[in-house]
């Protein structure tokens, strides 16, 4: 089973790749980095220097893939600032990192999955502030709201082709970087990458036969 994972070099991405490999998948990774992490084995096919907000590069990448079952889109970025301190450049950066990368990957994934004629799965990443509004991060929330809208609209569009499209909705994830940024927070309540990865893997699997167009909470007690 061939599955694309964008953002695979991040903390959540590493967890998702690990779970997919344990379940027998072959993982394809487009990455901005020049070199793949040494921890990946031969079942991870990394393609360096792919900019996921570049239309031509994303199209060429997906066209190069063998028969595809699923595409998981974890790449994105975060920023927070009051609106008065948010420039148009800041807003556009969040839009490109989150909404544009999601749109391009979804579009090309649909084309690739259609080639098999057997359906498939797409999983995106929204964010809890989209469904539980939080101030001070307007640019980020707007971009992630677009991811949620892309997910639900696309789910309705391709359900007849047996392509199921969902998005997870995480809170702050328990990563070393987030712990360093918020040293006094209740880290024990934050969801772990490995825990979220299990939900992602299910949504991308054939075992998920019904869930479609959903924004799936993955924040537990956080």
Domain count, the chain: 1
pLDDT tens, residue by residue, 15-54: 999 999 999 999 999 999 878 787 888 999 999 999 999 9
Is there a domain that residue 222 lies in?
no
pLDDT tens, residue by residue, 101-132: 999 999 999 999 999 999 999 999 999 999 99
Q: What are the start-end ranges of the E strands in 10-159?
A: 26-30, 44-47, 70-73, 120-125
> Which CATH number fits the domain that encloses residue 74?
3.40.50.720
Q: Report how far residue 7's alpha carbon sits from residue 76's, in angstroms, rounded to the nearest whole number.
A: 7
Look up the pTM and report it. Answer: 0.95
Nearest alpha-carbon partner for 26 in 41, 12, 9 = 41
- Domain of residue 65 covers 2-217
In sequence order, the 6+-apart residues with CB closer than 8 A to the CB of 23 are: 201, 205
Is there a domain that residue 90 lies in?
yes
Is there a domain that residue 154 lies in?
yes
Angle, CA 72 vertex, CA 131 and CA 197 arms, to 5°: 75
Is there a domain that residue 42 lies in?
yes
């Amino acid at each position: 089973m061939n599955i694309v994972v964008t953002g695979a070099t991040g903390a959540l991405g590493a967890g998702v790749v690990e779970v997919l490999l344990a379940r027998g998948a072959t993982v394809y990774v487009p990455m901005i980095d020049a070199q793949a992490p040494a921890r990946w084995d031969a079942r991870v096919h990394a393609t360096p220097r792919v900019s996921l907000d570049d239309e031509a590069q994303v199209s060429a990448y997906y066209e190069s893939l063998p028969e595809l079952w699923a595409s998981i889109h974890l790449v994105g970025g975060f920023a927070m600032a009051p609106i008065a301190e948010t420039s148009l450049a800041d807003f556009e950066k969040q839009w490109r990192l989150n909404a544009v990368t999601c749109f391009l990957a979804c579009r090309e994934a649909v084309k690739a999955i259609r080639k098999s004629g057997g359906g498939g799965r797409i999983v995106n990443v929204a964010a809890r502030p989209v469904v539980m509004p939080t101030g001070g991060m307007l640019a980020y929330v707007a971009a992630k709201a677009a991811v949620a809208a892309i997910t639900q609209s696309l789910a309705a569009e391709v359900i007849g082709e047996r392509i199921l499209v969902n998005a997870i909705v995480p809170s702050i994830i328990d990563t070393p970087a987030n712990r360093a940024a918020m040293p006094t927070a209740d880290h024990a309540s934050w969801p772990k990458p490995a825990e979220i990865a299990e939900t992602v893997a299910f949504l991308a699997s054939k075992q998920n036969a019904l869930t479609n167009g959903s924004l799936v909470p993955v924040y537990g007690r956080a």
